[in-house]
Structure 1
Amino acid sequence: MTHPSSPPTDRSRLLRAGAVLAGERLRPPVGDARRRTVCGAARLLTGLGVRVAVHAPAEAWPRTRSGPGLLLVANSASPLDPLVLLTVLRGVVVAAPAHQRVAGVPCPSVPATVADVAAALARGTSVVVRPELPTDGGAALGRFSPDLLAAAVGTGAPVCPVAVRCSGGAPGPVSGARSLRAALRWTGGVDVLADVQLLPALSSAGATPQELATTAEYAVAAVLETVTRQGGLAAGARPEPARGGGQRGPSTTR
């Protein structure tokens, strides 16, 4: 009895992505650890057949040279989101378990606690949080938890919503892809487009964590649901207007 082998596309992508990881270890890019991680993430995504497009916000985000960093609030679209966000957002860290790896690539991170996120923001470091709560299934956007957004209230950091959409890849709930093989199983041997929409910043002054979470959720939902149904919101769309909602800025594709 013979067992079916993986499709040639899967094998070639596994070999190509494996070669990327091996090359990063044997001959890492010139620069500090962050640069090496970002370059490794970009090359690995390319090896896996993942293209990334980023759309600039309609209003430029605040500069962080003399103040707290930005708290970037993103939805969960795929298990490769941390790598995607590292390649399009300069100098960020991800609020995640310590020593997090995605598809074998180590991600710059801070512990996902209010105290640690606030400390990073106070140092001027921008932090990515993904506060979306799990849903019962399907592609509906989950509610955003306000827990980590308390760090923005405590430091006065601007809150910047980020909408992430992926076309291609395996359907179903978003789960981790710590290993290269798990990431390959998620892509399913098909090309994937990760589309990242940066939305106008929200001021944390005078706001509560719940207000920031709700407003960021509506801003992201406005983008995801209008794209799902051009000319109108998709089923289950939230009718409330989102402060700093959807926009159409210039875009670039890697």
Structure 2
Amino acid sequence: MQILITNDDGINAPGLEVAYNIAKSLIQKKKGSITIIAPTTEKSGVSHSISFVRPSLIQKISNNKYALEGTPADCILAGINYVMKDKKPDLIISGVNMGRNIADDILYSGTVGAAMEGALNGIKSIALSQQYSKETYSSNNPFKCATKYGLDICKKILKDNPFSNSKFMGFYNINFPSCSTKEVKGIKICNSGKRKKATFEMVPQSKSTERNFLWIKHNQQNSQSLKKIDEHYLDKNFITISALKTDLSWKEKNKKLIKIFS
């Protein structure tokens, strides 16, 4: 098994080691290799973007570990078409992200965007994210839940192989709660939620200057009061798994549009 790992937190992010250890256990006693290609700097919020108008410098850090001046999706393309072109990846692990990727977040997430790029290339892809709180963020290891449960979850997904063989391949978004490993209540398979208002807004810089600067602000809020969605379960200390797909078509509306324009 050939595994490609990336993230959106950057080549020096601690979650990368957690993903590597998961991958190492997955190929134990099997022939295979692990390749890490991650952005040189943090690329949170870049979604599924690619560096279309400029080249991306790639640097070899160590054996099978590379830093790319690009986005997480760029890292996937670099792996498939350059670094691993002779032995293309069988599995892509994106993460482990420092912070949750749920609800509207998945549309902005570089972690999820990398998994989507893998799926578009017909490769099994899994995005892993670790929710954190003020307490767990300042702890020695904020990735305890991802470390303890990540391997078994990936094993089960790969064993049952629930990846679509259709033209639009699916992928998986997994989030781990910000609690101790003993407090994890279980696993919930669920849909992504929708927040009451836009996740982000743009606000002016507080200091007065000759030039006007605007900052992106994250609106801290909970999803709409819906049960059985990712945020609801994650906040109740469940690990959440959501199956996603690259086909964004709104098929029901397309059927109505056919009637309107026929």
TM, length-normalised to structure 1: 0.37
Whichever structure has more strand as a proportion of its residues is 2
Q: Higher relative CO (CA 8 A, sep ≥ 6), structure 1 or 2? A: 1
